[in-house]
Structure 1
Amino acid sequence: MKNLKKIALAADLTEMDETILRFIKGYDKLFDFDELCIIHQIEIEEVSAELQAVLDKKGLTLEQLIHKEIQSNVDAVFGSENTHIHIYIHPRPDFSELVHWVNKSKFDLFFLGKKMGLEGSGVFSSKMVRLLSCNLILVPETAKPTITKIISPIDFSSYSSRVLEVSELIASNTDAELIPLHILRIGIHYFPFLGSEKKIQKSLEKEAIEKFAKLKKKTNINAELETLLVESEPIGTAIFKKAKEYKADLIIISKKGKSDDSDLLLGSVAEDLISNEKNITVAIIN
Structure 2
Amino acid sequence: MNSLKRIMVGLDLSEMDDTLIRYTAFLCSISEIESVYFIHAEKSLDIPQEVLESMPTGMPADEKLRTSLIEKVEHYFGPDSRTQVEVLVVEGSPLKELLNLSKVNHIDLVVVGRKFHMRGSGLLAQKILRNGRVSVLFVPENEEPKLDHIVVSVDFSDYSLMALERMLTSALTKPNVRITCLHAYQVPSGYITLGMNYEDFDKRMQGFAHNKFAQVLERFPSLDGRATLHLVKQENEDDMGELLVVEAKRLKADLLVIGAKGLSAAALFVLGSVTEKMLRYNDDIPMIVYRKENEEIGFLDALLGND
Q: How does 1:229-248 map to 2 (within 5 A)?
A: 229-231=233-235, 232-248=237-253
Check 1:264–1:240 CA distance in 2 against 1; reply closer, same or farther (3 A cut).
closer
Aligned residues: 283
Equivalent residue runs for 1:70-149 within 5 Å: 70-79=69-78, 84-93=84-93, 95-149=95-149
Residues 16-50 of structure 1: CA deviation (Å, up to 9, x unaligned)? 11111111112222113211100111123x72685
Which ranges of structure 2 fall in alignment gaps of 5 or more residues? 292-307
Deviations 1:226-246 (A, max 9, x none): 211011221121112211222
CA contact (8 A) 1:130 1:265 kept: no
**Structure 1 CA distance for aligned equivalents of residues 27 and 48 of structure 2:** 42
CA distance in 2 between partners of 1:4 and 1:127 (Å)? 22
Residue 20 of structure 1 aligns with which residue? 20
SS in 2 for 1:165: helix
Q: Residues 173-252 of structure 1 correspond to what in structure 2 (within 5 A)?
A: 173=174, 175-190=176-191, 196-220=197-221, 221-222=223-224, 223-231=227-235, 232-252=237-257
- Matched residues in 2 for 1:246 and 1:50: separation? 48
Partner Cα separation in structure 1 for residue 33 and residue 115 of structure 2: 24
C-alpha separation in 1, matches of 2:32 and 2:219? 27
- CA displacement at 1:115 relative to structure 2: 1.1
In structure 2, distance between residues paired with 1:152 and 1:141:
21
Match of 1:285 in 2: 290
Partner of 2:174, secondary structure, is helix
User: By how many angstroms is 1:117 displaced?
Assistant: 2.0
- Cα distance in 2 for partners of 1:59, 1:66 equals 12
Mark the CA change 1:194 to 1:13 in structure 2 (over 3 Å): closer, same or farther: farther
* SS of residue paired to 2:158: coil
- Percent sequence identity over aligned pairs: 24
TM-score, normalised relative to structure 1? 0.86
Alpha-carbon distance between aligned partners in 1 of 2:283 and 2:150, rounded to the nearest angstrom: 16
Closer/same/farther in 2, CA of residues 50 and 237 from structure 1, 3 Å limit? same
Point out the more displaced range, 158-167 or 184-193.
184-193
Residue 280 of structure 1 aligns with an amino acid whose one-letter code is I
Note if contact 1:149-1:176 (Cα within 8 Å) is conserved in structure 2.
yes
- Are the counterparts in 2 of residues 41 and 91 from structure 1 also a CA contact under 8 Å? yes
* Residue identity matched to 1:87: V
Range 103-112 or range 185-194, more displaced: 185-194
The alpha carbon displacement at 1:144 in A equals: 2.1
Residue aligning to 1:67:
66
Q: What is the alpha-carbon distance in structure 2 between the residues aligned to residue 277 and residue 227 of structure 1?
A: 19
Contact 1:255–1:267 (8 Å) recurs in 2: no
Query: Cα offset for 1:7?
Result: 1.2
Range moving further from structure 2, 214-223 or 194-203? 194-203
Give 1:120 deviation, angstroms: 1.4
**After superposition, what is the alpha-carbon deviation per residue over 1:130-186, rounded to whole angstroms, capped at 9, x for unaligned?**
122222211112322211111111112111222222333456425111111111123
User: Distance between the aligned counterparts of 1:230 and 1:16, measured in 2?
Assistant: 34
Secondary structure of 1:212's match? helix
Q: One-letter code of the match for 1:152?
A: V
Deviates more, 1:61-70 or 1:218-227: 218-227
- Corresponding residue number in structure 1 for 2:42: 42
For structure 1, the 5+ residue unaligned runs are none
